[in-house]
Every structure is written in structure tokens, then in C-alpha cells.
Amino acid sequence: MLRFMPVGDSMTIGSAGDHTWRYRLWRHLCATYGGPFTLVGPRETLYDQGADAPVSYAYADPDFPCGHLAGWGEGWLHMAPLIGDAVRAGRADVLLVSLGLIDLGFYTNAEQTAQNVRAFIAAARAANPRVRAVLLPVIPNVRAGADPSFAEQVDHFNELLAKAVADLDEPGSPLLLASLPPSYDIHVDTYDGTHPNESGEHKLAEAFAEAMYEGWGVGGPYTQG
């Protein structure tokens, strides 16, 4: 069984009422992947904005394997120390990672964030030397549109992320850099300038799906199952 672990921030954990891109990708893989698979991770909940805590189990589909390693307000800085134990416990084969916006917005600059990317990959490989990963660049949000210096940090980090993927890619533990969804529009595909709505969830899921299909032959062209 192929075991996928979604890793991310608020765009990945989602909040009560969201389907999440994790769910959209699961539905796609159910329709296109020919073997057994599941989603794994040490966490299962959605974020409840009313409670201001990740305590909701209000998933639309009770059959959805809702394991993940994602947290509202968490980034590479937070996940690098956790990923080794998470990979080991979940026996993860493939990491699907969407991180960086929180780091750049509150904690670290582009260079420091890129160092945490490398620490994250090293820790994941220490837990599973054959782990694979798909990394999504940071999608600029409403703050990037209003703050040129923040937008520059996002662009710079995405360049450093591409370099890290190229530097760290190994035949036995391959890395893929997903493409930013070309039609992603924060005014159309989010509900608040950052967090994806239904169309945004599909576009994020498609970015991961197309990277795995084109890079590794996993699944097929994206389908909105």
C-alpha cells in the first residue's frame, strides 16, 4: 500500500466546512491510481475557527482517510522537528508538502526558510531513506499583493526552494517541485485572499496530482472526482 502524507499549514489542514485539497486529491487518486493507497499522518482534525483550535471532525465524507501533518499557523520551522517521527510512525512513502507562507510572514526570511526545508528533508530521510516528496512553491496571497517586500521574499524563497529540490533530489529518494497552478487567482480561488475555496482546492490538488503523474507515473491526469 502506498502511503501519502499531506504536510502543510492552514491551507492544508483546512477548517470546518472545507473539503480541503487533501480530500480532492484523495478522490482523484481513487479514480486514477491502480493500487491500494491511503493518507497518513499523526493528526486527523480540521481547524475550528470558532473554537480557535484544531478540534473539528466535520469532514464531508466519512470514508475519507483524514491523516495529515498540518497545522493552522505552522510552517517549515515547525514541521522540520516533527517530520521524522511522523514519517516513522505513519510509514509514509510520499510527502505532499505545502509550506512557507507562515514562515515568511512571521518567523524566518527566505534564506532561513530554505535552510529549514533542507533540515526537513534530512529528517524525513533519516526516518525513511526511500521517502519521496512533492513540494509546492508558496502561492502569493493578499498580503503579497499589498506588501512588495513580502512579495519579494516569496519570490526569493520559491527560487531557493527550486534550488533545494535540484540539489537534494536523489534516485533512491526523489523530490519533485510542483508547478504553481497557472490559473490560480486569489480573488476567485480563495474565500479570504489566502485560504482556498472549492475551485482553489481543486487547483492545489491538481498541482500535486500532475507532478506525480508526470514525474513518477502515479495516478493519471487530474480528474475532479
73-113, pLDDT tens digit by residue? 999 999 999 999 999 999 999 999 999 999 999 999 999 99
The predicted-structure confidence for 46-66, as pLDDT tens digits, reads as follows: 999 999 999 999 998 989 999
Domain map (residue ranges) of the chain: 2-216
The predicted-structure confidence for 103-147, as pLDDT tens digits, reads as follows: 999 999 999 999 999 999 999 999 999 999 999 999 999 999 899
Q: In the prediction, which pLDDT does 60 show?
A: 87
Regarding pTM above 0.95, the answer is yes
Burial of 38 (0-12, 13-18, 19+ CB in 10 A): middle
- 2-216 adopts what CATH topology? Rossmann fold (3.40.50)
Averaged pLDDT of the chain: 97
Q: Is 175's pLDDT higher than 90?
A: yes
